[in-house]
Chain A
Amino acid sequence: MSAEPEAPIGTTQVPLEQTDVRRLRVYRYERGGGAERFDEFDVPVGPHTTVLDALLWIKLHRDQSLTLRHSCLHASCGTCGVQVDGREELACVCSVHDHGAEITVEPLANLPILADLVVDMNGFFARFPHEHPIIRASEAPTGPHDGEVDADPHHAEVTLHHHPLHHQHRAAPPGADFMRLEDCIECGLCVSACPVASTSYEYVGPAALGAAERLLEEPRGVKREDVLEWASRPEGVWRCHVGLECTRACPTDAIPAERIMALRRELIFGHDDRKDDQ
């Protein structure tokens, strides 16, 4: 399919002049619609065109049946995860200029495909520990006394009342170096990148184990023994073979591999009470 001189689409406000053409090889699959295949499209691109822009251009101008999923357009929702030239990316922030003249776009690996570039995330979320709270502390609603921070900035206490999981005080130690798993957007890129998840359907995967380790840091009423028992199952932390691809693929630097190793350290050497006293 050839591209006509149409203006490329883009999410930015800069002038959208066409500067180049990229050929996209896009994975196609429709249930009941025959075998998997790749379709090729020549897409006009501008200086700021992302892979998602290019896919939307294809859907608007070439093939309306192309199925893809996206929402926020700024790497917050985690719905547009795909493989671009074999590497996991959020399509909305992946520039076509970071790739060559021909770009291969495939759905995430290790999750069942619903259609074209859309995978079924049910299996991904089912891997999380049951204790994984739906509402994170930082997102809990605030009331008259909720979210109040102690006047002493060196020993801040935040009280959360509204959610049953948050009936407790959270104490922030002075100079605490908070990690960013709170920023996990549950996009599934880590499970797709994980070489072990490719070969083991039972492995719960990096995101779920990272969430479990986060529960140890901020238990919210959950017993640490339960979390550790869940994580120490054969399909848990011991299945990881230290490929570290999950941390590399993570678009929000949630460092799931380091979380898995922290769980292992806790299981091998036990809990370091000195951390709590700091």
Chain B
Amino acid sequence: MSDAPTNGLPGTAERGVPGPVHHKGPGPAESGWFEPRGRGRGGRALALHRVTGLLIVVYLYLHLGVLSMLLIGRSTWSSFLSLVTAKSFLALEAVLIAAVLFHGLNGIRVALIGSGIAVNRERALFWAGFAIATAGAIFAALHVLGAL
């Protein structure tokens, strides 16, 4: 209950209590950037940029953890390699390449817009980056899966 002075009218104390702040997003306030409803190209690019960034960070630590298996011994490493060279695992690698390409190219777009250099080219930059990332990811997927 608020410490605000009351003038004796009913409901005055309740009206002194600050109301909640409505947030976008599926969860707590911090998830507001992830709200899919009502977002445009820029908002979705920002959300995808953050998601791919998190994915890359998770992969980095996973990669370091996996490399530490070399300390255990040759047989452990060899059995692990047989697992990660399976087609299903290589498909995940294609996803990682797509994430890296989008994150990097969108980062260039954000830098160009954010420094005021190419503000009016925002749309073209987004679609150019998206097209390059898609083409690169398809090429990489075909390559790692052995089709090329």
Q: Residues of A with Cβ closer than 8 Å to B?
A: 27, 29, 31-33, 36, 83, 85-88, 106-115, 119-120, 193, 195-199, 240-245, 248, 257-258, 261-262, 264-266, 268-269
Contacts and interface: CB of A to CB of B under 8 A. Distances in A.
Nearest to B114: A242
A33 B20 CA distance: 13
A227 to B, nearest CB: 16
Contacts of A266: 116
A32 B22 contact: no
B115 A268 contact: yes
13 contacts: A86-B24, A109-B24, A110-B21, A198-B35, A240-B114, A243-B45, A244-B41, A244-B42, A245-B40, A262-B116, A264-B114, A264-B115, A268-B115
A110 B20 CA distance: 9
A265 to B, nearest CB: 3
Interface string B84-98: 000000000000000
List 10 A-B pairs, minimum CB-CB distance, nearest first.
A198-B32, A32-B14, A265-B116, A86-B37, A244-B42, A87-B38, A86-B38, A113-B19, A195-B33, A243-B46
Contacts of B37: 85-87
B22 A106 contact: yes
Contact of B116 (A33, A107, A119, A264): A264
Contact of A29 (B20, B35, B42, B45): B20
A113 B18 CA distance: 8
Contacts of A108: 22
Given A31-B17, A110-B21, A195-B35, 12 more contacts: A29-B20, A32-B15, A106-B22, A109-B21, A109-B22, A110-B22, A110-B23, A113-B21, A114-B19, A198-B23, A198-B33, A245-B40
Categorize the interface residue count of chain B: 35 or more
A109 B19 CA distance: 12
Contact of A196 (B20, B33, B113, B114): B33
B110 interface: yes
Contacts of B41: 244
Interface of B: 11, 13-15, 17-25, 29-30, 32-33, 35, 37-43, 45-47, 110, 113-117, 119-120, 122
A243 B115 CA distance: 14
A248 B15 contact: no
Contacts of B18: 112
A219 B83 CA distance: 66
Contacts of B38: 83, 85-88, 193
B54 to A, nearest CB: 14
A193 B39 CA distance: 8
